[in-house]
């Protein structure tokens, strides 16, 4: 077991010591009342189960990772399958896992989470389990179990039936439907900082790749802070954060005219906290794709 792992939700990086599972609070998140859809309610329970399994194995880092995803699902936030860049996977497994993630996202985008929420949530959780076990690469039975669980659940996902279209005129081809926009990307920051770390750059590169693929008309870059410090100071800090993200996106190749920036300070918290509270999930910049 490694002494540390890089954890991330929607692209956020956090270095956490493993082997400290006794400090991971799975009971609180397990008792949360889910505010989301049927898919998110099942996803909440699935990630709690994964967190408890990792806690039993004394893997505090991954237990906390699954706790965080369970919490986000319970709060009704969009939680997707983990990106490959967030795990150090062996080369022999990358192709299969990459294809599995692509196929899963395709079914989720086509309504699988609404049509068959239990199967979709189980497939996503088992995919993340497969990624986690494959990264450690020292328990073949666990890798096989997670992969089999993903494949079984994935096969049960049903997508929305296509809407019947009017019969096209002879020799006239129907235009394909526009590509769906991805869920917002989120970049996280250290306290009182607007500096982009390595994990943030991974997220921004993924956002740029999706920009090229989805061709949105606009990227809305919104800066936020936690409640530590003066409220007016935090307004300025959130502006610096959104500026840093916007500049990095332009450096990667996003046109300046496609980026709109806003600052919110501590007014729109991802996690409600008391004033003066440090909370990493609130120190963020969200990148929303607009068709």
Q: Domain ranges for the chain, please list them.
A: 4-155, 185-290
- Residue 9 pLDDT > 80: no
Among 214, 269, 224, 266, residue whose Cα is nearest residue 245: 224
Could you please report the per-residue DSSP string of 225-244? Answer: --S-S-HHHHHHHHHHHHHH
- Residue 287 pLDDT > 90: yes
The first and second tokens of residue 247, run together, are 């500049």
The confidence band for 36, taking pLDDT boundaries of 50, 70 and 90, is: confident
pLDDT tens-digit readout, 160-216: 755 444 455 566 666 666 668 889 999 999 999 999 999 999 999 999 999 998 899
- Residue 243 pLDDT > 60: yes
* pLDDT at position 179: 66
- Residue 89 pLDDT > 50: yes
What lies within 8 Å, CB to CB, of 43 at 6+ separation is 69, 70, 73, 79, 121, 124, 125
Residue with tokens 């996003």: 254
Higher pLDDT, 21 or 15: 21
User: What CATH class has 185-290?
Assistant: alpha beta
CA dihedral of 20, 26, 28, 32, whole degrees rounded to 10: 150
Q: Is 289 within 8 Å of 219 (Cβ atoms)?
A: yes
d(CA 77, CA 281) in angstroms, rounded, equals: 12
Bridge partner residues of 218 (DSSP): 290
d(CA 98, CA 183) in angstroms, rounded, equals: 19
The confidence band for 110, taking pLDDT boundaries of 50, 70 and 90, is: confident
Higher pLDDT, 126 or 76: 126
Among 185, 278, 183, residue whose Cα is nearest residue 225: 278
* pLDDT at position 14: 36
Mean pLDDT of 255-281: 95
- Residue 3 pLDDT > 60: no
Mean pLDDT of 85-107: 92
Among 86, 190, 166, 186, residue whose Cα is nearest residue 132: 86
Burial class (CB in 10 A: 0-12, 13-18, 19+), 150: buried
Mean pLDDT of 237-247: 95
Q: Rg for the chain (alpha carbons), in Å?
A: 20
Mean pLDDT of 100-124: 92
* pLDDT at position 160: 79
């Amino acid at each position: 077991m490694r002494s540390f792992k890089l954890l991330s939700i929607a692209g956020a990086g956090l270095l956490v010591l493993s082997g400290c599972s006794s400090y991971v609070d799975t009971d609180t998140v397990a008792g949360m009342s889910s505010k989301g859809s049927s898919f998110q309610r099942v996803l909440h329970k699935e990630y709690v189960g994964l967190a408890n399994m990792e806690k039993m194995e004394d893997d505090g880092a991954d237990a906390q990772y699954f706790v965080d995803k369970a919490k986000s699902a319970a709060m009704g936030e969009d939680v997707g399958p983990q990106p490959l860049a967030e795990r150090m996977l062996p080369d022999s497994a990358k192709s299969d896992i990459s294809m599995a993630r692509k196929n899963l996202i395709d079914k989720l985008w086509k309504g699988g989470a609404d049509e068959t929420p239990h199967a979709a949530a189980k497939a996503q959780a088992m995919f993340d389990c497969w990624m986690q076990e494959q990264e450690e690469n020292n328990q073949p039975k666990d890798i096989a179990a997670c992969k089999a669980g993903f494949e079984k659940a994935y096969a049960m996902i049903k997508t929305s039936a296509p809407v019947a279209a009017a019969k096209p005129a002879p020799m006239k081809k129907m235009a394909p439907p526009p590509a769906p926009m991805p869920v917002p990307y989120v970049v996280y920051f250290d306290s009182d900082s607007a500096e982009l770390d390595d994990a943030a750059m991974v997220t921004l590169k993924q956002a740029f790749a999706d920009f090229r693929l989805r061709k949105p008309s606009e990227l809305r870059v919104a800066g936020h802070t936690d409640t530590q410090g003066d409220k007016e100071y935090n307004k300025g800090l959130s502006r610096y954060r959104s500026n840093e993200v916007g500049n990095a996106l332009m450096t990667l190749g996003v046109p300046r005219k496609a980026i709109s920036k806003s600052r919110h300070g501590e007014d729109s918290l991802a996690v409600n906290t008391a004033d003066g509270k440090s909370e990493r999930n609130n120190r963020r910049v969200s990148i929303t794709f607009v068709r």
